[in-house]
Structure 1
């Protein structure tokens, strides 16, 4: 369970507990279990039963119920991508790929934070140089997320367990060799496309590392030659290829 769900669960427990204490405290609302009035007792018992049901349902929804995922095309935040990839975390034959994609997202956030800190040390936020660096970093991040969307689109239509069921030894002669080969080729094509997206994002992360190194080595005399920096030129070329990554 992630931190957000844990906090929601703790908030639910605290909220229900406080409500019960307020209502059942003697002298506040006149509701008391075992009091003189049968109506008071019935109301108190009913409150406790309802509280228990709310806690049980809330715990189920937060602990076991899968989160509602946003459509891939509408995903924008880091949390959106994490939640969507986590949905496929246990997909047969793809666990390592999903874990790799989640690790890449985590590393991207850390590199963005480090880059922002270094840029803040080298430039004033109002400077044109600062804005140029940030615009390139933002554009590369968008390309990175396009690759994640590509992975998610493939996962949404890919059934990794289908091939093993299709070619299981239970039905070794049920299908022709040609059909099995075509099914296997399609399976491998899906895997290759996911690997391709992961590789493209690994390249982006490497370029961000290079950019960080180049920025850290900048002297004041170099500030006017940002566009000539090798890594900036590489990133600019990569950004221009964005149209080839569109879904």
Structure 2
């Protein structure tokens, strides 16, 4: 099928500006009363300069016509927004078949399921022990919500990294036939960059696993509230750890 080129709508206006600029330049250079360069009427150098200017001007106008009228604009990367749980699942699932990421993606999806279960268990337990209007309930609930935001912030970081990570490109680069074409220094730099991406993914998964562990500890501490002598829920060790973690994250984001 023959390719059909689409006219760039803003091109004609820009092209008129380009043509006007070329015309003004030629008039300035070739007018006897200005720079005095003549074609055929002066020295051989002047004639050659004048002809060269005309040829260059023609090439500039031709190239400008193609660039401004017919060349397709540079492709823009699609903007992906992660707002719901389903958005995150969809984003992770796009990388599920990448061999080097398969285990990490499966773990991230599993972590999302687990944090939903832990949040539900915590809210159910809090609902049995406190009235939703109580200050203690609100403090617990606030920390749980903020920790969940932190969890998904780590997932978003993973997705942002993976959006610019091309595992297939590295696989081609690291193939034995390709490796011999490049210097050892270049191969080392490329490999280091590749491992930097993977390290970030694994680091974020590790941070989320720590969050899940702290939520388990919080569940245990809430069940033991009756046998503890805490006068304030903020004195509970796990609540202090979670509050500190949330504070550090907010400080880092500023």
- Look up the match of 2:186: 179
Select between 79-88 and 128-137 the one with higher mean Cα deviation: 79-88
- Look up the match of 2:159: 152
CA deviations on 1:169-218 (whole Å, 9 max, x unpaired) are 22342111110010000001110011110000000000000000000111
Aligned ranges for residues 9-20 of structure 1 at < 5 Å? none
Aligned ranges for residues 1-247 of structure 1 at < 5 Å? 71-72=79-80, 74-219=81-226, 222=229, 224-243=231-250, 246=253
TM-score, normalised on structure 2?
Answer: 0.66
**Contact 1:104–1:201 at 8 Å: present in 2 too?**
yes
Structure 1: state its 5+ residue gaps.
1-69
CA deviations on 1:82-107 (whole Å, 9 max, x unpaired) are 11111111123100000000000000
Question: By how many angstroms is 1:221 displaced?
Answer: 7.5
Select between 222-231 and 193-202 the one with higher mean Cα deviation: 222-231
**Contact 2:147–2:211 at 8 Å: present in 1 too?**
yes
Question: By how many angstroms is 1:241 displaced?
Answer: 1.4
Structure 1's 134 and 223: CA in aligned 2 closer, same or farther, altered over 3 A?
Answer: farther
Aligned residues: 177
Look at both structures and tell me which one has the larger radius of gyration over its CA atoms: 2
Q: Distance in 1 between matches of 2:120 and 2:247?
A: 24
SS in 2 for 1:170: helix
**Contact 2:158–2:204 at 8 Å: present in 1 too?**
yes
Question: By how many angstroms is 1:164 displaced?
Answer: 1.7
Q: Distance in 1 between matches of 2:112 and 2:82?
A: 14
Question: By how many angstroms is 1:158 displaced?
Answer: 0.4
Question: By how many angstroms is 1:224 displaced?
Answer: 3.8
* Structure 1 segments of 4+ aligned residues over 6 angstroms from their partners: none
Q: Distance in 2 between matches of 1:140 and 1:108?
A: 10
- Look up the match of 1:21: none
Q: Distance in 1 between matches of 2:111 and 2:241?
A: 20
Structure 2: state its 5+ residue gaps.
1-77
TM-score, normalised on structure 1?
Answer: 0.67
